Amino acid sequence: MKKIALITGASKGLGFETALQLGKKGFTVIVTARTQHKSNEAAAKLKTKDIDALGVQLDVSNSKDIANLVSFLNERFGKLDILINNAGVQLDFPGFMPGNSTETVSMEILKQTFETNFFAPIALTQKLLPLLKKSDAGRIVNVSSIMGSLALHADASSPIYGIKLLAYNSSKTALNQFTLHLAEALKDTLIKVNSAHPGWVKTDLGGEYAPMSIEDGVKTIVDLSTLDVNGKTGTFIHLGESLPW
């Protein structure tokens, strides 16, 4: 049976390009979006490129959608090889403009950000672990960001020092902690868990001034999704290089 990869937030941007690249490598890709229409559209585009793709509705914050997804995967495949927790939001400021939202960010924005960027990946991953444990090379990639690095935010000479987006940055710091904890919990299994920093990429989230293309942005995600048996687990990576937590 072909290997099965599930990508959240895959109707456009990094998620769609990741599905495209994994599909080209021979994976069956499950592309998810908040609506069935959008997920079907994404799958249809991939099929025109001879990629085995299926669209599934998944609002990552919706427990019913998660339950339906798990049932579908159980019935259709009986396993899952790759989980890419890609869906995310940045609600502090438009783009990644310099500034500090700490004094002004609302509790509503904080809660919305953590719901999508932190709580949802944990809820989804926990429900999918039984299927991932049936894979002979399970891989979990949490799409994080260099903006979650505490070390770099404490370093006045770092390139991200002036971008203090409290909701977004702290949600990615928390996601990195999840990566570390889950990697430790699964250390005696065949599953590897890592955080990926794609880079500052030209997407709806990254904005028009981002220096990296989407094609370059997915390289780290794809690499971590296809690690061999000797690959590392519990790391924070950008283009093959470790980033400081």
**Counting runs of H as helices and runs of E as strands, what totals does the chain give?**
9, 10
Tokens standing for 145?
């960001």
Contact 42, 34 (CB under 8 A): no
Distance CA 124, CA 7 (A): 11
Distance CA 16, CA 44 (A): 12
Contact 62, 175 (CB under 8 A): no
C-alpha separations of 127 from 114, 122, 123 in Å: 19, 9, 6
Catalytic residue check, 209: no
Catalytic residue check, 172: yes
* Amino acid occupying residue 108: E
Q: What are phi and psi of 87, to 5 degrees?
A: -55, 135
Tokens standing for 127?
């429900």
Closest of 152, 155, 32, 26 to residue 86, by C-alpha: 32
Choosing from 3, 168, 192, 219, the catalytic residue is 168
Choosing from 3, 45, 164, 172, the catalytic residue is 172
* Amino acid occupying residue 209: Y
Catalytic (active-site) positions: 168, 172
